[in-house]
Amino acid sequence: MVDIAGLYFVIADAERARFVRPGPDNRLHTIQVVDRTTIRKSDDEPGPPGDAAHPFTNLLVERINDDFAVDLFSQLVIVAPPLILAELLAMIDDPTRGSLIGSLARDLMNVPDLELWPHVHEWLRVWRQIT
């Protein structure tokens, strides 16, 4: 089982993103993986088709901002390759930016949950001190 509020890792590349949370078992858990065809603004509304007019990063930042607006997380860490990370950081809205506790310019999209810890441990420590 994974807590609903709290720390939220968004791990992305140019085509996909996964949302990862720490669980009560002190492990990281991917709660959802999205791509251009599956990203949603809400649980009921499918996202627009992934065409050149709607790059994935635009859809992803809308999702991140929406998730913060409905209190799905209170602390955010974004992990993505440098160019994607720069795009995401430039586009998140001010309220969401206030929840940002860190970012990492690395491609960890294919790193399994059990192997993420060495890459994100500093934010897990910060989060544990806050909670």
Query: How far from 52 is each of 11, 49, 58, 59, 99, CA to CA, in Å?
Result: 22, 9, 11, 12, 30
Domain presence at residue 1? no
Domain presence at residue 2? no
Instruction: Dig out the tokens for 11 from the structure.
Output: 């791990």
Q: Which domain holds residue 99?
A: 7-130
Cα–Cα dist 84/80, whole Å: 6
Band the pLDDT of 77: cuts 50, 70, 90. very high
Task: Supply the CATH number for residue 13's domain.
Answer: 3.30.420.60
Domain presence at residue 93? yes
Look over the chain and give the mean of its residue pLDDT values, rounded to a whole number.
85
Q: What pLDDT sits at residue 127? A: 62
Which residues on neighbouring strands pair with residue 62, listed in sequence order? none
Domain presence at residue 66? yes
Q: How far apart are the first and last CA of the chain?
A: 18
Band the pLDDT of 43: cuts 50, 70, 90. very low
Domain presence at residue 101? yes
Q: What pLDDT sits at residue 129? A: 62
pLDDT value at 50 more than 80: no
Domain presence at residue 38? yes
Instruction: Dig out the tokens for 87 from the structure.
Output: 């795009």
Q: What pLDDT sits at residue 58? A: 92
Number of domains the chain contains = 1
Instruction: Dig out the tokens for 84 from the structure.
Output: 């994607």
pLDDT value at 3 more than 50: no
Amino acid at 7: L
Domain presence at residue 59? yes
Global pTM reads: 0.84
Handedness of CA 92, 77, 67, 108 (dihedral sign): positive
